[in-house]
Structure formats: structure tokens, C-alpha cells
Amino acid sequence: MRNRTRIRTISILIVVTAGIVFTVTIRSMREGPRRTSESVTSAMKMDDSGHANDIVISPTQLQTLGVRVDTLRYRKLEKVIRTVGRVDYDERRLTTVSTKVSGWIEKLHVDYTGKFVKKQEPLYEIYSPEVVSAEEEYVLALRGQARAGAELPARWQQDVKTLLESAKRRLEFWDVPSEHIQDLEKTQRITKTMMIHSPADGFVLKRNILEGSFVKPGYELFTIADISRVWVYADIYEYELPLIETGQTAEFSSSYFPGETFIGKVTYIYPYLEEKTRTVKVRFEFANPGWKLKPGMFANVRLNVPVAEKGLALPEEAVLDTGERQLVFIRKSEGVFEPREVKLGLKAEGYYQVLEGVAEGEVVAVSANFLIDSESRLGSAMMKMKM
């Protein structure tokens, strides 16, 4: 009997103990999430519809999250576009020297590529039987006019004058230098060769003849480039293209000339897009004092594009972009933030131009925005679990 009573007593104690342990376990499981949600949802205020409106963060949490704020104000907004440019010749300052008559090069005065020549500086001397024949006709016409004088009837005088003008015009059409024609009129002496001069200042890029060479009409003899002004080509991304206009000022800097900046302007925007790079070629023009900029050089091109003379500026890091909309967190009071949707314009050097959503003087969170948003989402989730 005693053994049975003892076993019954032990069994009752075990059942009671198990019941107490189960009760304590269930209670702790219920209280755990409540404490967690209280630590988060205490940082939330609810409106009448049950949705989170303002986010309240304790000073400890603010310090932990590293939240910084800034006051919105109006400022001058400029967008800086940086790209790499390549120096090239100004196509309008390239000159080709060719001949309109056939003949032999008797003497070269410019005998190597790269030489700098001045306008009217001798390039070469050519012997052309065609030119010599035309000179003879012109000299004969000059002599005939001088001998005839006033003795001939007026009609014949007019014929002599027409013949003289025709002979002179033929020389001019063959690009015989005016100095050569004037000397022919004074001396009336035929010379074997004709001197050809440089039509412009510049460097000789091409020299396609040697002394003794025979040339035909249309043959390209020299190419001369004036590099006192140069073109610079640069590629601009298509999303930056609306900001580029002809006439805009551009800066050009290079590691070849440390600390020196060249000032130029946009002269042409090409009307097609490079499909592989999604860029548009833009041409700039720069003065080139001392011929420092050499065609083929690469350098940095910078454009300061005005976005707004006085626009409401929002720091770039203050914006939380969800992909569909842009949000900012406005500080209403110490530790209280209101999420607000904004409409943004162009971005300019770390700032967005604000079109709608905020006003001057409001204080916005400029750091830890993602953490603030995560905190509010976690709080909302805990509230739903509690309900």
C-alpha cells in the first residue's frame, strides 16, 4: 500500500511540474515578440486608417543609424559634363596645292614634310609648255596693241583689245600668279619656269612631288594645314545630349600642360548616334597659341552646363529611389521623420533640382535613408503580427 501511495504521489508531482513548465514556455513565447515589436513599433505612429505615417526614432537609434540632416535651400545648379576629346585639324584650314597644267618640276623650295611655310612663300618652280605658249600669245597681243596705237580703226582696236584680254584670261584661269603676269607685261620677256607660292600659312602635311617629276592637271602636290585653331572631337552620351548646345563654352586640359586650361566652344553636334557606344560625336573649336595642341592628342574636355540659375536643391544622398518613385524623409521634429514622395528634375554635381514635394527651409535626412525605410517596414510588419 505504501509503495502504491508513493508512486501515485510522484506521478502527480511530475504532471504538475510539466504543466508549470509548459505554461511558462507558452508565456515566454508570447511575451518575446511583444517585447521585440514594442522596441520597434514604439518608434512608429499610426494614423486612423492603421497605416504608418511618421517614423519616430529615439536618440539612441539616431546615433546608431548615423542619421544626418540638411536644410533645403535655393542655389545655382550647374551640371558638369566630362569627356575625353581628341585633337584634330580644322578642316576649313586645310589647303591643297594642285596644278591645272601639265609640266615638269624644275625646282623644289619646300623639300620635306612638316616644314612651316608662310603665305606667298615659294613652293616650287614648274616648266609647262602650255603656259609658255600662252605667255607668247599674250606678249604678241601686247606688242600688237602698242604698234597699232590710234592708227587702226576703232573696230580693229576693239578686236586687238579682245585678243589681249583673252590671252590674259587664259593665264589667269591656269592660276598663273598675278605677279608673274605683271612682270610679263613690264618686260615682255618669256621665262621657261613659273614660280608657285604658298596660298596660306601652315605646316606641310603632304608632299607628293620631287624635283624632275612630271605632273598632270589635277595632281595633288602639297597639303598645308594651319593649326592656329584646332578642332576637338568628343563623345557625349545620349542622355546628356539635351544639355549640349552649339556656342557653349568648354574647357580643355591635358597632362601635357599641367595647370593650363584652353577655352573653346561647341561648334557642331553631329546628327547621328553611334549604336555600339550610344554616344553622339560633338565638335569643339579651340584657339591654339604657339601650336601647343597637336592633332592626335587626347585630353579632358569639361562643360559647365547651367541647369537652374536659382533652383531648389536636394542632396543626392537624400533620395530613396524605389524604381517607380523617389522618396525623401522630412524631419518634422527631433527624431520624427515623414516619408514624402518628390518629383525631381536634373541632377547637378551632387544635387537634384526639386520640382514638387518639398519646400525651402524643410529639413531632410541625407544619410541612412535605407535604414530608416527598413525600420519603418519592420515596424509595420511587427504591428500586423501583433494584431
Q: Could you read off the pLDDT tens digit of each residue along the chain, which spans 387 residues? A: 555 655 565 565 565 455 554 554 555 444 444 433 333 333 444 444 334 467 777 777 777 777 788 888 888 888 889 999 999 999 999 999 999 999 999 999 998 999 999 999 999 999 999 999 999 988 888 887 776 655 656 666 677 778 888 888 999 999 899 888 989 888 888 889 999 999 999 999 999 999 999 999 999 999 999 999 999 999 999 988 888 999 999 999 988 888 899 999 999 999 999 989 999 999 999 999 999 999 999 989 999 888 777 888 888 888 888 777 888 888 888 878 888 888 888 787 778 888 888 888 888 888 755 555 555 554 444 444 444
AA letter at 211: E
pLDDT of 120-137, one tens digit each? Answer: 999 999 999 999 999 998
CA distance 78 to 51: 39
Direct distance between the N- and C-terminal alpha carbons of the chain, in angstroms, rounded to an integer? 55
Domains and their CATH numbers in the chain? 40-75+309-386 (2.40.420.20), 81-90+227-307 (2.40.30.170), 91-225 (2.40.50.100)
Return the sign of the alpha-carbon dihedral for residues 347, 352, 357, 360.
Answer: negative
How far is residue 40's CA from residue 370's CA, in Å, rounded to a whole number?
16
pLDDT, residue 381, reads 42
Q: Which residues contact 328 (CB under 8 A, 6 or more apart)?
A: 314, 318, 319, 320, 339, 340, 342, 357, 358, 364, 365, 369
pLDDT in tens, 306-329: 877 788 888 888 888 877 788 888
Query: For residue 97, which amino acid is it?
Result: V
3-state secondary structure 224-269: EECCCEEEEEEEEEHHHHHHCCCCCEEEEECCCCCCCEEEEEEEEE
Which own/partner contact pairs does 272-278 have at CB distance under 8 Å and 24+ positions apart?
Answer: 273/238, 274/235, 277/235, 278/237, 278/238
Bridge partners (DSSP) listed for residue 234: 85, 282
What does the alpha-carbon distance between residue 234 and residue 239 come to, in Å, rounded to a whole number?
A: 15
For the beta sheet containing 193-197, the strands, ordered from the edge strand earlier in sequence to the opposite edge, are 193-197, 122-127, 103-108, 214-215
Compute the distance between CA of residue 284 and CA of residue 85 in angstroms, rounded to an integer.
9
Amino acid occupying residue 2? R
Q: What is the DSSP string of 33-49?
A: HHHHHHHHHTTEEE-TT
pLDDT in tens, 208-232: 999 999 999 999 999 999 999 999 9
Give the model's pLDDT for residue 318: 80
Report the relative pairing of strands 261-269 and 249-253 from DSSP bridges.
Answer: antiparallel
- Measured CA to CA, the distance from residue 32 to residue 136 in angstroms comes to 118
Is residue 73 within 8 Å of residue 364, measured between CB atoms?
Answer: no
Express each pLDDT in 284-306 by its tens digit. Answer: 999 999 999 999 999 899 998 88
C-alpha cell at 150: 590710234
Cα 52 to chain centroid, rounded:
45
Rounded CA-CA distance 28/245 in Å is 70
What pLDDT, on a 0 to 100 scale, did the predictor assign at position 40?
38
Instruction: Label residue 8 exposed, middle or buried (CB < 10 Å: 0-12, 13-18, 19+).
Output: exposed
pLDDT at 44: 44
205 and 223 Cβ atoms separated by less than 8 Å: yes
CB 152 within 8 A of CB 160: yes
Asked if 230 and 254 touch (Cβ cutoff 8 Å), the reply is no
Cα distance between residue 339 and residue 357, in whole Å: 11
